[in-house]
Structure 1
């Protein structure tokens, strides 16, 4: 099992990839021949998450889906950041108790 902060950091990374892909999709939606990308996230048995970016088979924009993905990625990033902050506070408290 990985430490809590490592798991949360992988979640932050996955959220950043999701945000990057959604932003890229929106920015290039009107580009001739552009194909959207999608992100697949997979929980890892030892903890954390991995991401895979792939091209969507059908051309065309999905502004609603991409905006929702951006919002979800932002919330996921903040939630994982709070986990890292809480882990650091708890570690500091534990060190204070044992010192």
Structure 2
């Protein structure tokens, strides 16, 4: 049986990993016309973090008569590389914080087992 603390730490680490992956993808596509920045959106779940990925595009009212294909070809990427680097740093910090929580939980459970033995 996995404790709630383990589940919360693991889901936080998974969210941080996904955030890092999405930021790297955004940077890789920063010069791709029509590419829209993606963001990882997190919210508290029962035993950790629920995660989803959203696209952050331009205003929906722009070029409403154009087809999606024409829009993607005519629009430049909306990726801000500096913002992505900040997101990557935040993801690193989130991962490390959850890793420390996981180590702390592991040490605590080890001590409990030692006392019970």
Give yes or no for TM over 0.5.
Answer: yes
Which residue does 1:36 correspond to in 2? 37
Stretch of structure 1 that moved more, 55-64 or 65-74: 55-64
User: Which runs of structure 2 are paired with 1:51-90 in the superposition (5 Å)?
Assistant: 51-58=51-58, 59-90=77-108
Q: Is the 8 A contact 2:22 2:38 kept in 1?
A: yes
- In 2, the alpha carbon distance for the partners of 1:31 and 1:77 equals 29
- How many angstroms does 1:42 deviate by? 0.7
Give unmatched runs, 5+ long, in structure 2: 59-76
Number of equivalent positions: 97
Structure 1 runs (4+) greater than 2 angstroms displaced: none
Which residue does 2:48 correspond to in 1? 48
C-alpha RMSD over aligned residues: 1.2
| Bigger CA radius of gyration | 2
Q: Is the 8 A contact 2:7 2:48 kept in 1?
A: yes
Which residue does 1:26 correspond to in 2? 27
TM-score (normalised: structure 2): 0.78
Partner deviation per Cα, 1:60-82 (whole Å, 9 max, x = no partner): 22112111110000000010001
Which residue does 1:17 correspond to in 2? 18
Give unmatched runs, 5+ long, in structure 1: none
